[in-house]
């Protein structure tokens, strides 16, 4: 028997705030995974990234026997060319006689003029740092382009189908609905970007170890070697992942702002295809403030822009370019501020306007 006033059922503990948030984010994660368009865009982007990595392997591979034979044939043809032989003899004679205007006395004719097989192959042993930077840039831009559209469709589908109103019936706190969607989308894009960045690292190291050099060295504009640490490379990969996350979140914010996938995609396509070209044509000094410039600075900074004076070469005017350098911080702050404006505006409007 039980005492009066006691309950025979078990008392359920009130659900904590953290577990409630985790459950809400989990629901949005499942909804995101159920979007066919998100899956298609993600798989297409990953396939394109794998293609880029495949090209990186193919370009890093040493020339085949047939390619070397073709290059040797070109060398033989040049060596048997009477005009080339005559020019080589003129060089040798001029250097032996003390040099001339065309052939300085310190010139090594054989070293500078005799053709080599390597000249016709266009191949050099791959270096880990160079291969990683180029492949990471390629796959990051592909992922960012695809997942920004995935973010647009994730939000736009809710508006076009009217499910956003249904969600608000079960969770009236709009800021939580908005935040849960952002967190789920950010987690998805970060996972995909991290996997692809790791693949770029592994492929770059593998081709360098097999056919080139794995030395942690980069080179400045004047060819000066710069030591690179593993932490630097991890930083490059992290920045790439953050860019992809920012692109997906920005696409989501635009779709929430306009309540339309079509408007958001149209704006993105218009800017990327013709917007920057028009801005460059109308405002010559606008390049440091373009989105593409800041993206490159964030991924591979410092990014240098060289502007030549309009009077270059006129009446003896100097033609020395003016260099503008944008560092990683400058690129990141610009992108973060732009993302914050878009997402904040979308969140504020989502709080205030009617949802029908």
DSSP string, 136-191: HHHHHHHHHHHHHHHHHHHHHHHHHHTHHHHHHHH---HHHHHHHHHHHHHHHHHH
- What secondary structure letter does DSSP report for 213? B
pTM: 0.84
Q: How many angstroms separate the CA atoms of 341 and 336, rounded?
A: 9
Alpha carbon distances (Å) from 350 to 93, 107, 171? 83, 73, 14
Q: How many angstroms separate the CA atoms of 30 and 240, rounded?
A: 25
At 350 the pLDDT is 85
pLDDT along the chain (356 residues), means of 10: 43 54 76 88 96 95 91 92 91 88 86 88 90 96 96 84 66 80 94 97 96 88 82 95 97 91 91 90 88 94 80 65 88 96 93 71
Q: How many angstroms separate the CA atoms of 269 and 263, rounded?
A: 10
The two structure tokens encoding residue 354 = 């009617």
The continuous run of DSSP H or E covering 91 comes out as: helix 82-96
At 187 the pLDDT is 94
Peptide bond into 302 cis (omega under 30): yes
At 74 the pLDDT is 92
Query: CA nearest 216: which of 208, 227, 203?
Result: 227
Q: How many angstroms separate the CA atoms of 33 and 330, rounded?
A: 35
Domain ranges of the chain: 20-62+123-352, 65-120
First to last CA, the chain: 54
At 102 the pLDDT is 82
- Residue 323 pairs in a beta bridge with 306
Reduced 3-state DSSP string for 315-348: HHCCCCCEEEEECHHHHHHHHHHHHHHHHHHHHH
Are 265 and 152 in contact by the 8 Å Cβ rule? The answer is: yes
- Name residue, tokens 């502007």: 307
Are 206 and 120 in contact by the 8 Å Cβ rule? The answer is: no
Torsion over CA of 128, 134, 138 and 141, rounded to 10 degrees?
Answer: 110
Q: How many angstroms separate the CA atoms of 97 and 92, rounded?
A: 9
- Name residue, tokens 């360098």: 208
At 10 the pLDDT is 42
């Amino acid at each position: 028997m039980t005492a009066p006033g006691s309950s025979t059922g078990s008392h359920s503990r009130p659900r904590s705030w953290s577990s409630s948030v985790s459950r809400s984010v989990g629901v949005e994660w499942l909804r995101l995974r159920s979007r066919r368009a998100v899956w298609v865009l993600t798989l297409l982007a990953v396939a394109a990234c794998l293609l880029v990595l495949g090209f990186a392997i193919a370009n890093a591979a040493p020339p085949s026997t047939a390619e070397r034979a073709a290059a040797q044939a070109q060398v033989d043809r040049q060596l048997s060319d009477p005009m080339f032989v005559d020019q080589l003899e003129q060089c040798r004679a001029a250097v032996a006689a003390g040099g001339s205007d065309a052939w300085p006395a310190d010139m090594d004719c054989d070293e500078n003029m005799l053709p080599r097989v390597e000249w016709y192959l266009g191949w050099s042993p791959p270096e880990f740092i160079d291969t990683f930077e180029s492949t990471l840039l390629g796959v990051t831009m592909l992922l960012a382009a695809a997942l920004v559209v995935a973010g647009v469709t994730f939000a736009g589908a809710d508006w076009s189908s009217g499910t956003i109103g249904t969600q608000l019936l079960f969770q009236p706190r709009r800021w939580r609905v908005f935040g849960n969607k952002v967190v789920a989308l950010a987690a998805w894009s970060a996972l995909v970007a991290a996997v692809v960045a790791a693949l770029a690292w592994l492929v770059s190291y593998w081709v360098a170890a097999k056919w080139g050099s794995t030395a942690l060295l980069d080179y400045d504009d004047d060819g000066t070697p710069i030591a690179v640490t593993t932490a630097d490379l991890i930083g490059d990969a992290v920045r790439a992942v953050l860019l992809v996350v920012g692109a997906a979140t920005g696409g989501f914010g635009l779709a929430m702002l306009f309540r339309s996938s079509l408007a958001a995609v149209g704006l993105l396509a218009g800017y990327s295809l013709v917007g920057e070209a028009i801005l460059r044509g109308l405002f010559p000094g606008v390049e440091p403030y373009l989105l593409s410039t800041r993206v490159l600075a964030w991924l591979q900074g410092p990014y240098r822009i060289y502007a030549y004076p309009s009077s270059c070469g006129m009446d003896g005017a100097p033609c020395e370019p003016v260099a503008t350098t944008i560092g990683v911080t400058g690129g990141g702050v610009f992108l973060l501020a732009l993302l914050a404006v878009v997402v904040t505006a979308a969140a504020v409007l989502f709080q205030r306007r009617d949802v029908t």
